[in-house]
Chains A and B, each alone.
Chain A
Amino acid sequence: MHLKNLLLAAFLITADSYLQKPPEQPRPDIGEAQTSREISDKTALQNAFVQVLADTGYAGGVITVTHGCQMDTKRFHIPKGMRLPHALDELTASDGKHEWRVSNGAVVVFPTEGMPALLQTRIQEIQIQDKNNLTLAVNQLLQAKPIRDEIAVLRLQLISPEIGFQQLTPGDSKPEPQPFLLHDTSLFDALNRIATEHGNVAWSYDEFDCKGSKRLRLDFIVK
């Protein structure tokens, strides 16, 4: 009987932490923004989201949890010049497994079933070294002790990041780092804060349940 109750309690705690959604917030006036390009492609949700958000001036994030090894692809048809809220409705309707919301000024697409537990993990305080160095900022977040601990509890394996391209400015002195401090924040809110502080960027959290192992890729896919 005890064991049954314990199992039930464990299930409820797990379900509760997984099913939590980003807090509902009043939508800022994103209604004026429009898509700058036509999207007519069979592609991953992350890619379609980036194209919807392109040139709107908004920062954002996209969360996917894939029960398999490959990213799902879907066919998206979103015209150029569509109002951003309608384009996001169209995006999530075509995908069928995600919703969108504005959180801390960032446009976020997340699974209908809720946010992964790791994104809800709280960090008491962290000093981001440079808001303009997004790769290092994610690296810092992933190395924060509560995040490392939760990654271990969830048995997530981090995928080696694709750092990608940087602009070269020969002769120019490096810009001064612009640090900022985050207090009592979830990983989800931290990513949104970094994204909105920087502006016009997008992060992507991709969790894969692939052949018995759970893998995680967390990167800024628009820098």
Chain B
Amino acid sequence: MNGQTSGSIGFHVQIPTKLVRIDYPGAPGGIGPLNVIADGNVVSLGGTVLLTHQCGVYRNYAFDIEEANGTSINGTYAWTESFSNYSTTVSALGPPAPRTFNFSGSGLVSDIQFLGTTAPTCPGSNDNESFDMSFSVTIGGVTFPISTMVHISHGYFTGTPRVDSTITTP
């Protein structure tokens, strides 16, 4: 139980419930700048190069995974993102399979939203996709659903590069 004590031993079972945008260097309010690259690197908020020789558009986001009372989670956990309501102008493909990330430490995480191709090929002027992301956290074999859902829309919209993220279930 959350915050209860047993005899003289206090214990606390973490129950992650939500994903919250946070201020982070390079991402004020949790939202980084729009990056448009013609033949460049895709770089994470932590400064790590993730992709090279890419043509496309991307944006970094910063979040904290928290309990209902706003405490950041801490420990070893698996973070899973799942995709739904996927639509794209690029092909008739469905959503990708869920992704799981094994983390150890705090609930501070970054996400990167990218749409692009390997240079010199570039996306078409109306290549874009949109989808909903939902999340869960697994700690010690127990999976906790996260109430926050995020809607993503990214790519090129009649020539305009955009990466938009909206929290739809706070």
A residues lining the B interface (CB < 8 Å): 36-37, 44, 46-47, 50, 54-55, 69-71, 133, 135-136, 139-140, 142-143, 157-170, 174, 200-201, 204, 206, 208, 210-211, 213, 215, 217, 219, 221-223
By the criterion CB–CB under 8 Å, are B44 and A222 in contact? Answer: no
Apart from A133-B49, A162-B96, A164-B99, 11 more pairs, CB < 8 Å = A37-B143, A143-B118, A159-B96, A160-B129, A165-B81, A165-B109, A166-B110, A167-B101, A206-B96, A208-B93, A223-B102
B3-11, B32-40, B50-58, B162-170: which one contacts chain A?
Answer: B50-58
Residue of B24, B52, B79, B102 with highest tally of chain A CB at under 10 A: B102
B75 close to chain A: CB less than 8 A: no
A200's partner among B49, B79, B102 (CB-CB below 8 A) is: B102
Shortest beta-carbon distance from A95 to chain B in Å: 14
Q: Any chain A CB within 8 A of the CB of B146?
A: no
B91 touches A215 (CB 8 A): yes
Shortest Cβ distance from B141 into A: residue = A36
When the two chains form their complex, are residues A165 and B141 in contact, meaning their CB atoms are under 8 A apart? no
Complex partner residue of A163 from B42, B91, B102, CB under 8 angstroms: B42
Residues of chain B from 102 to 133 with CB closer than 8 A to chain A in the complex: 102-106, 108-112, 114-118, 123, 129
At the interface, is chain A mostly helix, strand, loop or mixed?
mixed
Q: Tell yes or no: B97 within 8 A of A by CB.
A: yes
Is the CB–CB distance between A47 and B98 below 8 Å?
yes
The B contact surface, by secondary structure, is strand
Within residues 48 to 107 of chain B, which ones have a CB less than 8 A from any CB in chain A? 48-53, 56, 62, 78-79, 81, 83, 90-94, 96-106
The chain B residues found within 8 Å of chain A, CB to CB, are 24-25, 42, 44-53, 56, 62, 78-79, 81, 83, 90-94, 96-106, 108-112, 114-118, 123, 129, 138, 141, 143
Known interface pairs A133-B50, A215-B93, A217-B96. Does A166 touch B24 (Cβ–Cβ under 8 Å)?
no
Cβ distance A16 to chain B, nearest Cβ, rounded Å:
29
- Complex: chain A residue closest to B114, CB-CB: A163
Q: Which chain B residues border A164 with CB–CB below 8 Å? A: 81, 99, 101, 111-112
Chain A residue, CB-CB nearest to B104: A167
Give Cα distance in the complex from A174 to B116, angstroms.
Answer: 26
CB pair B92–A37 under 8 Å, yes or no, is no
**What is the bound-complex CA distance between A209 and B138, given in angstroms?**
34
Chain B contacts for A135, CB-based, 8 A: 50-51
How far is A15 from B100 in the complex, measured between Cα atoms in Å? 35
Contacts of B111 in A (CB 8 A): 164-166
Which of B50, B100, B106, B114 meets A222, CB within 8 Å?
B100
Please tell me if the beta carbons of B141 and A37 are within 8 angstroms of each other in the complex.
Answer: yes
- Nearest B residue to A168 via CB reads B108
In Å, the complex CA distance between A168 and B44 comes to 10
Which of chain B's residues have a CB closer than 8 A to the CB of A158?
117-118
| A142-B118, A163-B51, A170-B24 known; A219-B101 Cβ under 8 A | no
